[in-house]
Amino acid sequence: MDTIAAIATAIVPQQGSVGIVRMSGSESMKIATTLFHAPGQQVWETHRILYGYIRHPQTGQLVDEALLLIMKAPRSYTREDVIEFHCHGGIISIQKVLQLCIEAGARLAQPGEFTLRAFLNGRLDLTQAESIAELVGSQSPAAAQVALAGLQGKLASPIRRLRADCLDVLAEIEARIDFEEDLPPLDESEISQKIDSILNDLSIVLGTANRGELLRTGLKVAIVGRPNVGKSSLLNAWSRSDRAIVTELPGTTRDVVESHLVVGGIPVQVLDTAGIRETEDRVEKIGVERSYGAAKSADLVLLTIDAEAGWTELDEFIYEQVKHRSLILIINKVDLVQGELIKSIFYPETIKNIVTTAVINNEGIEDLEAAIIKAVNLDNVEVENLDFAVNQRQAAALRRAKISLEQCLNTIKNNLPLDFWTIDLRGAIYALGEVTGEDVTESVLDRIFSRFCIGK
């Protein structure tokens, strides 16, 4: 394979202290020797770091002072010869180094091409390769943990086991087709039982898909409610708490404040309709419309009311707009209401998730977080004990495998010929192979790796 090169580190002008240019392929050592000058008696051996200078091979002009890391095949990320130049992080010099590599015979790598080579050379399976992209893109410690589990092969091993079990059943059936006279008759109920048990294990793995989706894409929560009920104060109190990792990002629209928190390990994007302070009717109406807009794109709506004011007409109006959504009612400002009276605050009995808060005193935030986790917690107990999670692509393939296995059970039940059983089983085996990459088309690979960053 040809030699590829890319900048492997994030390029942020004036911010990176080290920038890495990475090459992989049979020419990478040769290219390195034409560009890199290592003074003294340094030995060009694998898994060594050399110190020196990168110079223009023709003019001899100095480009950067750098370290050179040599990782010869097969002990490298791609299992090919890999060279890394660790340069000063300046965007200009690092791009110059990349350009010199290309002029010396390397080709600019496609997104994810290093990892694709690692996959094609058998160093990683497809679930591990996808986990690398997920690790790089993870936005919460829990998401990173799940990605690491995938990278360690914790997702691949149950899938391989399922596929091996299907292959065993297939072999048993095919033996009957080929050598019918020499073997005892097939025990149909035993075969059905085996498929049942495979289906059961498959469902458990598939059960991690919801959590995976939540961890990867995060949860979008909208705080809605009429002006002055305490929405911004809630967000402030929440953002300040130790449990939250906050990265303030500019909102997608001028009127919605977006905050990114981590609640129970799940990245949560909170949308707050801010900036609406006046209480004249017209502005209130705009506020309501904006709340409604934010609520429409959210997975979970936090409808906030003022305990002292009780359930007002405007609260009712907002509730009417959002009542079909997954919803938690926050009764805020309970510090202004006598203890016993809190219970008598009216709200529609259709609302089942209620939390009382006094966000001004940081009270009730933990209860709110617990209510959020409960509202989105879709995992069953068996799934809870697994530390990996399947992504959408893997889940789709697993669902295809499930359908094929269910079809196989029907085929057996309807006494169809053995050939039909094998067709269904092969469908399941193919789908399971797609997850780990044992059976996978080039277009699927293209789709997966094009989502990686260049240099990975």
State the pairing for strand pair 48-55/62-71. Answer: antiparallel
* Residue 231 near ligand GDP by CB under 6 A: yes
Q: Do the Cβ atoms of 34 and 57 come closer than 8 Å?
A: yes
128-129-131-133 Cα dihedral, nearest 10 degrees: 170
Angle in degrees, 0-180, between the axes of helices 113-120 and 442-449, rounded to the nearest 10: 140
Residue 335 interacting with ligand GDP (CB under 6 A): yes
Q: Interface with ligand GDP by CB under 6 A: which range of 36-44, 173-181, 278-286, 357-365? A: 357-365
Taking the complex as a whole, how short is the minimal distance between the CB of residue 373 and ligand GDP, in angstroms?
22
Residue by residue, DSSP assigns 34-46 as: HHEE--TT----T
Secondary structure element (H or E) that encloses residue 269, with its range: strand 266-273
Is residue 230 part of the contact set for ligand GDP (CB under 6 A)? yes
Helix, strand, coil shares of the chain, percent, nearest 5, are 50, 20, 35
Burial 115-151 (b: 16+ CB within 10 A, else e): bbbbbbbebbbbbbbbbbbbbeebbbebbbbbbbbbb
CB-CB contact of 210 with 378 (8 Å) = yes
Binding flag, residue 239, ligand GDP (CB under 6 A): no
Among 67, 73, 360, 416, binds ligand GDP (CB under 6 A): 360
Is there binding between residue 228 and ligand GDP (CB under 6 A)?
yes
We find the least distance from the C-beta atom of residue 316 to ligand GDP, in angstroms, to be 17
Sheet holding 4-7, edge to edge: 36-37, 48-55, 62-71, 82-88, 18-24, 4-7, 107-108
Q: Which one-letter amino acid corresponds to residue 244?
A: A
Of 100 and 314, which CB lies nearer to ligand GDP in the complex structure?
Answer: 314
Q: Nearer to ligand GDP by C-beta: 66 or 224?
A: 224
Closest-CB residue for ligand GDP?
230
Least distance (Å) between residue 216 CB and ligand GDP: 30
Closest approach of Cβ 81 to ligand GDP, in Å?
59
111, 137, 158, 227: which one binds ligand GDP (CB under 6 A): 227
**Residue 290, interface with ligand GDP (CB under 6 A)?**
no
- Using the rule CB under 6 A, which residue among 358, 383, 395, 432 binds ligand GDP? 358
Residue from 54, 97, 166, 229 touching ligand GDP (CB under 6 A): that is 229
- The minimum distance between CB 274 and ligand GDP, in angstroms, equals 7
Residues near ligand GDP (CB under 6 A) are 225, 227-233, 332-333, 335-336, 358-360
